[in-house]
Structure 1
Amino acid sequence: MPLKRPKGDALAAIIAERTGYAFHDVALLQRALTHSSVRGKVGADNERLEFLGDRVLALVVAEMLFRRHPEATQGELAVRLSSLVSGDSCAEVAEEIGMTEFIHADAAVRGVNGRKAKNVRADAMEALIAAVYLDSGLEPARAFILRFWEKRAQTVGRAVRDPKTMLQEWLAQKDSARPTYAIIGREGPDHEPVFTVEVQAPGFDASVATGRSRQAAEQAAAAAFLAREGVTDNADAAA
């Protein structure tokens, strides 16, 4: 038989040990870990907390990035923020804490995997942040977030050097569709071809670049797009 999910003070003690934060209102903690699939009445699940936690997380991480990268442009900060507060990042923190075993959900939800499972963990993580905020205020919530997100901020800079990733995340911040790439030219011999690629996104002019492979040309086109829109400077685009 599966182990019983801890509740009440036992749950609060485990969360305190794993996160460094001790809840005063244990019922608030339990609501943060209750999926909508088992709600009994409005407000008894974590959906409203998830909404608030998403905003608290974004505020704290945005301030952290603003202070950490004084020379970064608005576009660069937006890309870094998008990566750090994404569902994937929230799910990773939830896994680090070991929250999955504490999430109260019906059997169908507990049995999901892949993207759906990540979404459940990410939502619970955002709800937990909101619960800390409501339980003790912004400063404890800030300390809670920084404990798990500061180390991620140290590595996200390397990830966003990939122009295609940067462009996709920047467009997501703008509520725009994903960029599309198309080969519009190919020159040179088969053993040393040069590809010309165009990248398009709704509401923006297309950018064109060349490369010795399709992938290199796509990266170059994305870099040119980002530089033109002021997301990166020319040095970044060339890197």
Structure 2
Amino acid sequence: MTTVDNGELLKRLGVDIDAETLQLALTHRSFAYENGPLPHNERLEFLGDSVLGLAVTTELYTRFPDLSEGELAKRRAAVVSERSLAAIARSLGLGPHIRLGRGESMTHGDDKDSILADTMEALFGATYISCGGDRARDLVLRLTSALLDDDFVLGAGRDWKTEIQELAAELDLGEIQYVVTGTGPDHARVFEADLRIGDKTYGVGTGSAKKHAERSAAEAAYRYLTSQEDAPTTLLIEDSSDGA
């Protein structure tokens, strides 16, 4: 395993986590099981999840006094999502600092959204342990504050399939169906989904996996029904999670 300078990571984070706690925060369970058993970062991740949630929730409550509970919850879910945390981790160059087992290393675990996001939460927990609650909150907000107003991030974090299901029920429109077709070779497959209610298409979406296409079709339909545009919009939404 290539040695990296964790001091550079601390400079980018702007906090002074003690060496032992930092190493623990950067130790994935795959490394711990192969080299021990050793302690790993899941307990710090558990703590960091609460640190993250409280900091973001408090900031949302303060910054947006006119938003309803439901809207605040949607924004929080988007900002603390795996996708958002992984993007923050990549911006910090976190991947090479994570201690991984051989299997995870061979499958590029240092660039997997789930591992990056979990390690970010562990670092929030480690900051809380080493530096206290105020410094941990400051770190969370410094890294997430811009996301609270980012329309792309907020949209990407929403559960559009559930929202369109609820909206269709509220409007008594009937049962939703997704009609999905795929084109292209297996290694570069592109899917298109039509969201239909009865014989009418309300949204069309495309993506590199069926679930991505359905999700973008659901968002297009939701935006169509809530804005009453002339025609459904075709959306392309990609994410880095696996699945077809």
In the TM superposition, structure 1's runs of 4+ consecutive aligned residues that sit over 6 Å from their partners are none
Q: Which runs of 5 or more residues in structure 2 are unaligned?
A: 165-174, 178-195, 204-216, 228-244
| Aligned mates of 1:150, 1:98 — CA distance in 2 | 19
Q: Is residue 2:20 matched to residue 1:27?
A: yes
Larger Rg: 1
Query: C-alpha deviations, 1:15-41, integer Å up to 9, x for none?
Result: 221111112x21000000000012124
Aligned residues: 183
| Aligned residue in 1 for 2:105 | 110
Q: Name the amino acid aligned to 1:76.
A: E
Alpha-carbon separation, structure 1, partners of 2:88 and 2:77: 15
Structure 1 residues 135, 170: CA separation in 2 closer, same or farther (over 3 Å shift)?
farther
Question: What TM-score do the two structures reach when normalised by structure 2?
Answer: 0.65
User: Equivalent residue for 1:73?
Assistant: 68
Alpha-carbon distance in 2 for matches of 1:76, 1:170: 12
- What code does the residue aligned with 1:61 have? V
2:29 to 36, 45, 56: 36
Structure 1 residue 185, shift from structure 2 partner? 2.9
Contact 1:35 1:45 in 2 (8 A): yes
Indicate the SS of the match to 2:198: strand
Distance 1:82 1:66 in 2: 14
Deviations 1:58-79 (A, max 9, x none): 1100111111111000000010
1:162-220 CA-partner distances (Å, limit 9, x unpaired): 8x94545779xxxxxxxx8322333xxxxxxx5469xxxxxxxxxxxxxxx99754544
Cα 1:159/1:109, change in 2 over 3 Å: closer
Percent identity over paired residues = 31
Partners of 1:136 and 1:169 in 2: how far apart? 39
Match of 1:154 among 149, 155, 162: 149
Give me the TM-score of the superposition, normalised by structure 1: 0.66
